[in-house]
Amino acid sequence: MCRSNLLSLIPTGRAMAFRWFAGLVCLVFLVFLVGNRPLFAQEKNPYAGDAKIAKVGEYQFRLNCAFCHGLGARGGGRGPDLTRAKRHGSSDAEIFHNIHDGIAGTAMPAATNGGIGVGMSDEEIWQVVTYIRSLEVKAPAQPVGSAAHGKQLFNGAAGCSGCHMVEGKGGRLGPDLTSVGASRSTEYLVESLRNPSRRLAQGIFEPMKEFPQEYVSVSVVTADGTKLSGVVVNEDQFTLQMLDTREQLYLFEKEKLRSLEKRRESAMPAYDQKTLSDRDLQDLIAYLQTVGAQ
């Protein structure tokens, strides 16, 4: 029994020997925890290519993963489309580890009991891996459009780079799109261009906060009468962090504003057929998917 936590291991008086022993036990336990990956995880999928297991895995997926990744693994409100190349690795072993241990720096939790979920056994994780791999085969391999022309559009006529960054270049009024091609389904990308207000893009994701901030449009009138409009970077009940259309960051206390109006619509214009033909749309998406795959 490790009665004391690591902070209270400083030895005092006659309990010293016991405490050091307890500390050693704790340490061994911690090493065991930290080192559990090689102990429990396997590198080889015992069910690779098994269609029946893939079906079982589909149910496991619905139970454990669909909340973020959507039914059919084609990307939900939070999680990426998993039917195509995955940014954090596409091999069986990589997918297993991503599920088992979570992905640091993302909202992807560990599926085991240390994470947020109900906990999945290794067997269940392999079932899901098998399911995900079974989807991949069915998905179209190559983007249909011209990535090169898409890049030209992105940085030129379509005006995307004015607000969006790709690989460190571009604006920051809208979300960085470097990896969006890898993480979102084609349908999602089409919808984002044709009807960007239908589903707002997600911004900052804070640890333990249930829902991420969205790219909500905002207009304010400051105490001195200055009118500003732009997008919400973050906010709480009392404060607002926003970028105006020139990407100037403003930090406000809400009660000091003369007015504050938020709109659940994207600051991005809807690209209809006239502004962006179906052909150009395909090319843009091909560009984003090519960049994302790199």
Partner 1 sequence: MKSALSSKRAKSRFLPSLGMTIFGQPVNVLGFLGRLTAQAGKRRDLGMTIPGRVAATLLVGMVCLGLASVASAQVTAQRLLDSAKEPQNWLMYSGDYAGHRYSVLEQVNTKNASALVPKWAYQTMAGGKFETTPLVVDGVLYATGADDRAFALDARSGRPIWQYQRALPADIRPCCGRVNRGLAIFGDKVFLGTLDAHVIALDTKTGNVVWDVAAAEHSMGYSITLAPLVIKDLVLIGVSGGEYGIRGFIDAYDEATGARKWRFYTIPAPGEPGHDTWEGESWKIGGAPAWITGTYDPATNTTFWTTGNPAPSNRGEGRAGDNLYSNSLLALDPSTGKLKWHFQFTKHDEHDYDATQIPVQVDDGDRHLIMQANRNGFFYVIDRASGKLLSATPYGRVTWSNSKDASGVPIERKEASPTLAGVPVCPGALGATNWMSPTYDPQTKLFYVSAREQCDIFSTAPQPYEAGHAFYGSAYFPNDDAQPFWGALRAIDPATSQIKWELKHLSPSWSGVLSTAGGLVFTGDAEGNFMALDAATGKILWHFQCGASVYASPMTYAMDGKQYVAIAAGSTLFAFGLP
Instruction: Give the residue carrying structure tokens 């940085």.
Output: 155
Size of the site for partner 1 (CB under 8 A): 49
* CB of 281 closer than 8 Å to CB of 153: no
Which residue, 169 or 263, is less far from partner 1 as judged by CB? Answer: 263
Instruction: Report the C-alpha gap between 161 and 232 in whole angstroms.
Output: 19
The DSSP secondary-structure symbol of 261 reads: E
Token pair belonging to 67:
């909340």
Q: How far is CA 247 from CA 69, 241, 244, in A?
A: 31, 12, 5
Pick 224 or 236: Cβ nearer partner 1: 236
C-alpha of 86 from chain center: 12
One character per residue 230-249, x = contact with partner 1 (rule: CB under 8 A): -----xxxx-----------
Q: Does 18 bind partner 1 (CB under 8 A)?
A: no
Burial, 234: exposed, middle or buried (Cβ in 10 Å; 0-12, 13-18, 19+)?
Answer: middle
Asked if 17 interacts with partner 1 (CB under 8 A), we say: no
Taking CA 111 as the corner, what is the angle to CA 109 and CA 113, rounded to the nearest 5 degrees? 105
Across 21-135, where does the E strand assignment appear? none
- Report which of 196, 80, 198, 86 is spatially closest to residue 133, judged by C-alpha positions: 86
2 binds partner 1 (CB under 8 A): yes
- Nearer to partner 1 by Cβ, of 192 and 282: the residue is 192
Contact positions with partner 1 (CB under 8 A) in 178-237: 198-200, 206-211, 214, 235-237
- Per CB under 8 A, 29 contacts partner 1: yes
- Which segment (23-31, 96-104, 129-137, 142-150) binds partner 1 by CB under 8 A? 23-31
In the shown chain, the binding pattern of residues 253 to 282 toward partner 1, with x for contact by CB under 8 A and - for none, equals -----------x------------------
Query: HEC states along 151-169?
Result: HHHHHCCCCHHHCCEECCE
Residues in 48-107 that interact with partner 1 by CB under 8 A: 59-60, 62-64, 66-68, 70-71, 76-78
Instruction: Report, in Å, the least distance between residue 121 CB and partner 1.
Output: 7
Q: Given the rule CB under 8 A, which residues bind partner 1?
A: 1-5, 7-8, 25-26, 29, 32-33, 36, 59-60, 62-64, 66-68, 70-71, 76-78, 113-114, 116, 118-121, 124, 198-200, 206-211, 214, 235-238, 264
